[in-house]
Amino acid sequence: MKKSLFILLLLTLMTVSPVAAQQYKYEAGPTLGMTGYLGEGNLGSLFRHPSFTVGGLFRYTHNSRWAFKANLNYANIRGDSEKDESWYPDGANYTFTSNLIDLGLTAEFNFLNFGRGPAYKKYKFISPYMVAGVGFVFAMCNGSNQASFTIPIGIGVKYKFKDRLNLNFEFTMRKEFSDRIDGLSDLYGIKHSFAKNTDWYSFATFSVSYEFGKRCIKCNYIE
């Protein structure tokens, strides 16, 4: 009798173990990081005048390679043209501080099979990835407001700290199309198209995300 119970328990564990992994399809968590800026107020180093960003993310994990993420961040960027090796009209020096509300919708591609699971699937606890998508930013700078579309692109690294807890570091550049998030535009009096403006801003963020939302399991296979 004891031998039969032991065999039954062993078979149960062998059946359940693969299913227990990769059973959650959603993630959510906070983000915290540093911002950088390139534009009329800073034509030099990206992080010459660093500032901060805080926010949150929601991620849908399609499989071990692909995920789709929405992020909402509050950020601050700053610039000062004093040390730029460029000559501005009338020798002026431009400084600004801008507060941003940033929304991004991005796709992530993992270079490795990220997650936990049976050995034959070769899951990895850590994986670099690349990210790209579309976004929207609302900027409040020196008493004026400006809204614009953005294109976020970047790279990152994911680490599965525990079964349902992931750590994430990501660096993204965001191309902004209005050329006014710094309150400066067409300083030389030359009009140009939105595609040729100089405004970029960056996020270097660290996040912690918690997995939830069990996948539908049928016949010991995770849909």
182-196 pLDDT, tens digit each: 877 665 555 555 555
Position 2 pLDDT exceeds 90: no
Is pTM beyond 0.85? Reply is no
Dump pLDDT digits (tens) for 132-163.
999 999 999 878 898 999 999 999 999 998 88
The average confidence (pLDDT) of the chain is 82
> Using CA atoms, how far apart are residues 71 and 64, in angstroms rounded to an integer?
20
Range with the largest mean pLDDT of 46-50, 88-92, 202-206, 211-215: 202-206
26-222 in CATH: which number?
2.40.160.20
Dump pLDDT digits (tens) for 5-31.
455 444 444 444 444 445 799 999 999
* pLDDT score of 18: 41
Domains of the chain, residue spans? 26-222
> Using CA atoms, how far apart are residues 191 and 36, in angstroms rounded to an integer?
25
> Using CA atoms, how far apart are residues 186 and 175, in angstroms rounded to an integer?
17
Contacts of 21 (CB under 8 A, 6+ apart): 115, 116, 117, 118, 123, 163
* pLDDT score of 17: 41
> Using CA atoms, how far apart are residues 170 and 22, in angstroms rounded to an integer?
22
